[in-house]
Structure 1
Amino acid sequence: MAQLSLYLLVIMVSLFCNSSLAEPAFARHSQSNGYIKDSCRITRYPSLCLQCLSSYGNSTTIQSPEQLAQVALSVSLYRAQYTRAYMLKVAKELESSKAKGYYQTVKDCLAEINDSVDQLSQSIRELRRLGQETVANDIFWHISNVETWVSAALTDASTCLDEFPGHNMGKLKATIKGKVLNVAQVTSNALALFHRYAAAKYRAANRKP
């Protein structure tokens, strides 16, 4: 049930990315969008961050580092799953063709993206546990787990990109590289927003007697 809710959340985010809401709705959530805009400034790709997350701010109130980290990681997982599905289709087509060398490159990249999907899924589950945790020592352990998994997902996406060196490439190769690059960028943004949340969580834990 929780996983279904996550998918519905991400689909809603994706739909709102390309839509506009009525003026009253925009005014009602302008504070959320202002908070999201300020938060996205700490990321490496602020425009991409704002493009995805501000649309979520239009649909509901979001004003905490935890909410932003949750949505950002959900977007990363969705993009990774979408890219994996596309590459699976490409790999099957190439396997039956004569482009065996190219097939192996796609297959190797696909393995990296598959790992990214698993690691992002684990990080989202761990973030939920972190939001419910009250014991300081366990909080730091959960923070470390999320950081490790999201960093690994980003590394795997970057490793996949290394499978496609150079700038001169065919349309299919360029499409794959573009999708994987998008996964890497949204994951980088998610990691930055999680670090912001983790710092707030750390300070709150240290204030406890």
Structure 2
Amino acid sequence: MKMAPQYLTIMIIFLSISSCLARVEPKPSLARHKSQITPNQTKTEIETQAQTRNKTMAYIESSCQGTRYPDLCMRSLASFAKYSNVVGPDHLAHIALSVSLVKALQTRGYLLKVVKEIEEINKGSEPGLAYLTMQDCEKQISDSVDQLSQAIKELRRVNKGTIIDDKMLWHISNVETWVSTALTDASYCVQSFPGHRMSKRTATIKSKAQNVAEVTSNGLALFHKYAARYKAAAAARAAKRP
């Protein structure tokens, strides 16, 4: 059976980014950021790498201050300073949205597992409210996965553009729409579990969905920051028209 191109894309993103997320430090700090030393490296090369990582971490910390959840933003992006140089706001926005996609994929996988377990327990009996709520939540998170996947593809089209025109602004609007919708869906899942008295499993689902919503909110904020220069340039160009 052949895998769809979109599925392959998602899996590549998942495998590459989840390996980094597993090693994210609880509270990243420039002072504690250690360089990764490999054999046969010269002192100059090691110092250069350390400086590059420090600059990348400083850039991430500065960019995250404009998000709604800055601490989470730094935690979720910090590991990339160890393995990759973030070269600008477009790169950072792409990474942030990819992190959101990975979190949504992980949460959807967990929800599918829980829903299947409940189905096995019920064995054809009338589904209870908990099952229906979790099933609905799974559909919302699945929608978030699809929307974030589309947003990442559209972001690549924005990055390839060199002329700021209506087509470029259309791509930007598409990214904003898809990410905003993904955020709405994840938030809806969180709101499906009101109150504080809930089972451990339900609390876990709510926490995972909340995490998807928060990293997606941060990703949207970072994309807004990236897209602002295009919108400003387009507005300036429109103002010069007779």
User: Is TM > 0.5 for Structure 1 vs Structure 2?
Assistant: yes
Unaligned runs of 5+ in 2: 27-32, 37-45
> Which of 147, 155, 162 is matched with 2:191 structurally?
162
Q: Which moved more, 1:134-143 or 1:7-16?
A: 7-16
- Structure 1 contact 113–157 (Cα < 8 Å) conserved: yes
Matched AA of 2:160: Q
Query: Where is the helix percentage greater, Structure 1 or Structure 2?
Result: 1
Counterpart residue number, 1:46: 70
> Which of 12, 18, 33 is matched with 2:57 structurally?
33
Matched AA of 1:124: I
Counterpart residue number, 1:127: 155
- Structure 2 contact 137–192 (Cα < 8 Å) conserved: yes
Q: Which runs of 4+ in 1 moved over 6 A?
A: none
Tell me the distance in 2 between the aligned counterparts of 1:198 and 1:40.
Answer: 16
Equivalenced residues, count: 209
Counterpart residue number, 1:187: 216
Unaligned runs of 5+ in 1: none
| TM-fit CA distance, 1:131 | 0.5
Counterpart residue number, 1:107: 135
| TM-fit CA distance, 1:10 | 1.4
CA shift digits 1:9-66 (9 cap, x unpaired): 4134314414974364444310111111000000000001001212102212113110
2:4 matched to 1:6? no
TM-score of the two chains, using structure 2 as the length reference: 0.79
- Structure 1 contact 69–194 (Cα < 8 Å) conserved: yes
CA shift digits 1:142-189 (9 cap, x unpaired): 010000000000000011111101011110000000100000000000
| TM-fit CA distance, 1:133 | 1.8
Q: Which has the larger radius of gyration?
A: 2
Counterpart residue number, 1:148: 177
> What RMSD over aligned residues (CA atoms) do the two structures have, in Å?
2.3
> Which of 72, 83, 94 is matched with 1:70 structurally?
94
Counterpart residue number, 2:228: 199
Tell me the distance in 1 between the aligned counterparts of 2:93 and 2:205.
Answer: 26
Tell me the distance in 2 between the aligned counterparts of 1:93 and 1:101.
Answer: 15
Counterpart residue number, 1:22: 35
Tell me the distance in 2 between the aligned counterparts of 1:21 and 1:34.
Answer: 14
| Correspondences of 1:88-103 after superposition (within 5 Å) | 88-98=112-122, 100-103=128-131
CA shift digits 1:92-129 (9 cap, x unpaired): 01112246221111001111001000000000000001
Tell me the distance in 2 between the aligned counterparts of 1:188 and 1:112.
Answer: 16
Tell me the distance in 2 between the aligned counterparts of 1:12 and 1:28.
Answer: 21
Tell me the distance in 1 between the aligned counterparts of 2:132 and 2:117.
Answer: 12
Counterpart residue number, 2:40: none
TM-score of the two chains, using structure 1 as the length reference: 0.91
